[in-house]
Structure 1
Amino acid sequence: MKKRRKQAFKLTPWRSQLRITSRTVLTALVLLIIGGLYLAVNARVARSGRNVLIRQSERAELQRQIAELTATFAELTTPERMLERALALGFRPAELGDIEYIVVAGYVSADPFIAPKPPNSTTERDGGLSPAYTETLGDWISRLTSPVREGRQ
């Protein structure tokens, strides 16, 4: 059987050439497909990167516009400019006789804010800790030796 196969290849050398050529073409085709996929993915990544750069530049431009509008708004709402505009529109400062207070039935005002008192140096610093944690070594030794001294006297 082996002899017959060898003889067939010797008689038809185009079969081995066809096999080598088909393997080469198949390898080239696989490499082309992989290269095409690689290019497609890279093109998509490049497009996304470019979109990110565009959005970042748009964001920077919007932030610049916001800062510019904030500065313009701050300039327009200065107390001096507001007073000028109010006087130009016919408003005038209120006097005591112009102010009327209205009592609304059922309205309960909010409790006024009372700030907490700051800690002072006269308060104890123990903070509610057990004496075992606040006692010094000297206090502990004197506490242990004091009943002995009282017993001797």
Structure 2
Amino acid sequence: MPQAFKQAPWRLQILSTGRTALWIVGLVILGGVYLAVNAKVAEAGRELLMLQQQHELLIRTNGELSAAYAELISPEIMMERAAYLGFRPALPDEINYLIVDGFEISDEFEAPRPLTSGESRPGMLSPSYTETLGEWLSRFAIGGDR
């Protein structure tokens, strides 16, 4: 059904102004939310950078303290401190051994190997698990053991 009368121009203008204002308000709200989220992300980024700097400082301080401790307990320093406190190495006739009834010395004793020992220790990975992909592919390509 066709419209019986024509809208007044000022009503059309108010309607279009209202729609435009609604769009502007929506965009302002959306922009505000976007800025709020970005502000929180920027703040978290700054806090992360500060924590990383603090972590690096703590690692450096820990390394310095470990080095200072290692220096303090070095054999030369310990001998020097012992001499300063009046200690000296014991002479053979000053050593007293304690005899314990029922204790037998076992000839099977084997001193533990240092950690830098070249021999493989139990618990280490088998050589078949330490082969790189490139080594395996080259061995496979030349038709070696599969």
Which amino acid in structure 2 is aligned with residue 99 of structure 1? I
Q: C-alpha displacement at 1:8, in angstroms?
A: 4.4
TM-score normalized by the length of structure 1? 0.61
TM-score normalized by the length of structure 2? 0.64
Q: C-alpha displacement at 1:65, in angstroms?
A: 1.1
Deviation by residue 1:16-67 (Cα, 9 ceiling, x = unmatched): 1111111101111111111111111111111111111001111111111112
Give 1 or 2: higher helix fraction.
1
Aligned to 2:16: 20
Which amino acid in structure 1 is aligned with residue 54 of structure 2? E
**Alignment pair present for 1:50 and 2:46:** yes
Give identity over the alignment, percent: 44
Aligned to 2:83: 87
SS of 1:101's equivalent in the other structure is coil
Aligned to 2:61: 65
Aligned to 1:112: 109
| Alignment coverage as a number of residue pairs | 112
Coordinate RMSD, CA, aligned = 2.9
Deviation by residue 1:45-91 (Cα, 9 ceiling, x = unmatched): 11111111001111111111112112222222221111010011111
Give ranges in structure 2 of 5+ residues lacking alignment: 113-118, 120-146
Compare CA radii of gyration and give the structure with the larger one: 1
Q: Judging changes above 3 Å, is the alpha-carbon distance between structure 1 residues 108 and 42 closer, same or farther for their aligned structure 2 residues?
A: farther
Q: Which moved more, 1:51-60 or 1:99-108?
A: 99-108
